[in-house]
Every structure is written in structure tokens, then in C-alpha cells.
Amino acid sequence: MLKHVLNNVLDPELNLDRIFRALADPGRRRMLERLSEGPASVGELGKPMAMSLAAVLQHVQILEGSGLVQSRKLGRTRTCSLNAPTLRSAERWISERRTFVERRLDRLGQYLADTADQPDTGDAGPAAPHAPA
């Protein structure tokens, strides 16, 4: 856990890379969807998927490495839970990019609206090449 915290502080972009890499797999996204309902054992996470317990555990380790999931072992059962703050950091990054793009599109829309009312100067720009007949 300390290693994860230090990586976040030292290189937040590295953590985003790990988060998106973890989210890239549909099976891991299904596991996160299940964990959004509450904690679950590794066995429970693997039930709906046709994969071995070892494969499920590998996916859980990737989710843990990204910080999206925390797990604890009690006896022979490893219980996983969603780490919502990490998921929110990815959501925040996406939201910031969306805001930036929306502002640019708004400016483009305004420019197009402003220039649509201007009379045509007759300068259509460079002529398009003719295709042979």
C-alpha cells in the first residue's frame, strides 16, 4: 500500500496509466461493476466468468496494482472492495479533458455562426484539382 501511495505522489500520470490499463480489460470492468455493489471474495468475482481461480487472482492483482481495488485476507478467503477515490481520479481526468474539448467546440461553433453572416468575398480559396474524365 505504501508503494502505491508513493507512486501516486511521485508520478500521478503513472497511476493514471495503471488505472486505464486495468480498465482496458472487459473482465476487470465486470469485476469493478460487481464491487460497486459491495465487497466480494475472489471466488465470487470469478463466478460469472469462465476462467480459473488463478486467472481471476491475476486480474485482481492488476486491479490492486492500479489502486482501483483493495483486498484483505481472512483465513482462506480474500475479500476485495472498490477503492472509489482512485476511480474518481480517473473520472476527474476525463472530465477535465471533456471540459477543454467542449470549450474549444463552443468557440468553433461561435466562429462558424459569426462568419456565416458575413457576405462571401468571392475568394473560394485554391481551386480543387479536376479529375480526368
- 29-66 confidence digits (pLDDT tens): 999 999 999 999 999 999 998 889 999 999 999 999 99
In a domain, 50, yes or no: yes
Mean pLDDT of the chain: 85
Domain span at residue 65 reads 2-86
Mean pLDDT of 5-18: 63
The sign one gets for the Cα dihedral 74, 36, 27, 85 is: negative
In a domain, 131, yes or no: no
Q: How much of the chain exceeds pLDDT 70, in percent?
A: 79
122-133 pLDDT tens trace: 565 565 566 665
Tell me the pLDDT band of 12, cut-offs 50, 70 and 90: low
CA distances to 38, 65, 75, 133 from 69, rounded to whole Å, are 12, 8, 19, 64
CB of 47 closer than 8 Å to CB of 94: no
In a domain, 65, yes or no: yes
Beta bridge partners of 70: 81
Number of independent structural domains in the chain = 1
